[in-house]
Amino acid sequence: MTTAGTYTPKPGAAPLPRMIAAQAALETRMLLRNGEQLLLTVVIPTLLLVLFSSVDIVDTGRGEAVDFLAPGVLALAVMSTAFTGQAIATGFERRYGVLKRLASSPLPRWALMTAKTASVLVTEVLQVVLLTVIAFALGWSPHGDPAAVLLLLVVGTAAFSGLGLLMAGTLKAEATLAAANLVFLLLLVGGGVIVPLEKFGSTGEQVLGLLPISALSDGLRDVLQHGAGMPWGDLGILAVWAVAGLAAAGKFFRWE
């Protein structure tokens, strides 16, 4: 049945780039295969964009609704993948011993985290392309510097990833599932995604404005809707969240 010598030891790790590429590809496949994840990352942002652009439910201020909504929905897309999706997926990977098993494979931990980040970025690119196409179809006319948009998306991703991993690495998988969805819902409503922050009063606006989702949606809106330059204030808020979140995740993350 098996020829002698089949199992003769010949150990060795694959080259790092190959390991990271394989891991990123697997993580991305797992994410795209998961129905609930797709609901969060694709269906909900798309529905919100289409629905609120075409039906006048929320007063989005002067101008076309889509010009207000598209930046908010892009921010939501980043949050859905980097925070909610990543937290839930990583929480269950921890629960099911995937992180533990990978920890004894040749793949170093930092390479696993690199692969996870790559998989988040790939998913975000797909989301941004999809949402941009839909927004254009709805009559979106964006302004501003693409580099500023890119920087906001990247720093926003870092901020949400840190918070997502912090949650996944410290709470039980079921708690992460519930909390990540709840936070998604709360930030969707109170983070300037579809409802302008002015609606929460001036104190509300100031407090909510410090949330990462508000900073990201506000920053994207400044650039894309109003053609502003680099929104340093919002970038600063996101950077603080990113540093604090990633540092806390690095310190408190438990692998099993």
Partner 1 sequence: MRSEPVVQVQALVKRYGTKTAVDGLDLVAQPGVTAVLGPNGAGKTTTVETCEGYRKPDSGTVRVLGLDPVRQSAELRPRVGVMLQSGGVYSGARAEEMLRHMAKLHAHPLDVDALVERLGLGSCGRTGYRRLSGGQQQRLALAMAVVGRPELVFLDEPTAGLDPQARRATWDLVRDLRADGVSVILTTHHMDEAEQLADDVAIIDGGRVIAQGSPEELCKGGAENTLRFTGRPGLDVGSLLKALPADCTAAELTPGSYRVVGKVDPQLLATVTSWCAQHGVMPDRISVERHTLEDVFLELTGKELRS
Binding site for partner 1 (CB under 8 A): 1-2, 4-15, 18-19, 22-23, 26, 29-30, 33-34, 92-93, 96-98, 100-101, 103-108, 256
Rounded least distance, CB 176 to partner 1, Å: 14
Alpha carbons 48 and 54: distance in angstroms, whole number: 10
Q: Both tokens of residue 208?
A: 């909510």
In whole angstroms, give the CA distance from residue 53 to residue 69. 7
Q: Which is nearer to partner 1, 109 or 226 (CB)?
A: 109
Phi-psi region of 221 (alpha: psi -120 to 50; beta: other; left: phi over 0): alpha
In sequence order, the 6+-apart residues with CB closer than 8 A to the CB of 223 are 71, 143, 144, 145, 148, 149, 152, 229, 231
CB of 187 to partner 1, least distance (A): 26
State which residue, 176 or 217, has the beta carbon closest to partner 1.
176
User: What tokens does 63 get?
Assistant: 């101008």
Calpha distance 186→214 (Å, rounded): 12
CB of 39 to partner 1, least distance (A): 15
Give 185's contacts (C-beta < 8 A, 6+ positions apart).
none
Quick one: 35 or 62, whose CB is closer to partner 1?
Answer: 35
Minimum CB distance to partner 1 smaller for 108 or for 209: 108
Closest contact distance (angstroms) between CB of 20 and partner 1 is 10
Q: Which is nearer to partner 1, 75 or 112 (CB)?
A: 112
Give least dist CB 246 to partner 1, A: 23
Shortest Cβ 214–partner 1 spacing (Å): 33
Are residues 46 and 74 in contact, defined by beta-carbon separation less than 8 angstroms?
no
Burial of 33 by CB count in 10 Å (0-12 exposed, 13-18 middle, 19+ buried)?
exposed
Burial class (CB within 10 angstroms; exposed 0-12, middle 13-18, buried 19+) of 170: middle
Nearer to partner 1, 10 or 62 (CB): 10
